[in-house]
Amino acid sequence: TLIIVPTPHEPEFSGEQRLPPERADFDMSAVTATLDALSGYAEPGCAPLAVVVSTVLPGSYDRVLMGHTQRLRYAYSPCFAAMGSVEDDLRAPEFNLIGTPGARRCLELEEMYRSLNDAEIITTDVTTAEGIKVLYNSFIGAKVALGNLWGEMAEKLGMNVDMMHHAISLSTKRLLSPRYLEAGM
C-alpha cells in the first residue's frame, strides 16, 4: 500500500517570514492515521507492506512512525517529481529510492519499479532514505534561491542573466557534477 498523504508544516515555518526560534516537525498525523488503519487489515502471518511516499524529515520513522508499524512491513520510498513534469518524472526518474528497517531488500517494491522504469534502484536504511529526500529537496531550493539572486543582481547591474545561466550550464566538471559534494576529507 503506497501512502501518499500530506505532511504539512505549520504556517510560521513556510519561509515567508523569519523562522521562529523553536523548531517543529512536519504534521505526521495523516501518515500515522493511515498506518494505524492499515494495521487493522493485518492478519496473523501476513503483514501488509506499508510504503510511505510522503516527504518526512530524517529520523521520522524512528521518532514517530515506528510505533505505528508493529503489525506491518515498512518501507520509505519517496517520489522525486516536480510540478509541471510529474508524469514524466514518474515514468523516467533519476533513480528509485527504497529505505527499509535494517536496509533489507524489498522485493515487491523493486519489482514494481522495474516494471515502471529502468532507473537505478537505491536500497538503504529508512533514516538515510529520509535524508536523501530532504537533501534532494534542499538542493533544489538552494539552486532556485541562487538563480533568483543572480537574476535580481543581473537586473540591477545590467548583466545578461541568460548568458550567465548558459555559462553555468556548461560547467559540468565542477559546478554541475558530483565533485565537491562528498563529506569530509
User: 5: buried, middle or exposed (CB in 10 Å: 19+, 13-18, 0-12)?
Assistant: middle
Whether the CB-CB separation of 58 and 131 falls below 8 Å is answered with yes
pLDDT tens digit string along 101-155?
A: 999 999 999 999 999 999 999 999 999 999 999 999 999 999 999 999 999 999 9
57-104 confidence digits (pLDDT tens):
999 999 999 999 999 999 999 999 998 999 999 899 999 999 999 999
Neighbours of 51 (CB within 10 A): 23
Task: State the Cα–Cα distance between residues 80 and 44, nearest whole angstrom.
Answer: 34
Judge residue 23's burial from the number of C-beta atoms within 10 Å of its C-beta, 0-12 exposed, 13-18 middle, 19 or more buried: exposed
Give pTM, 2 decimals: 0.91
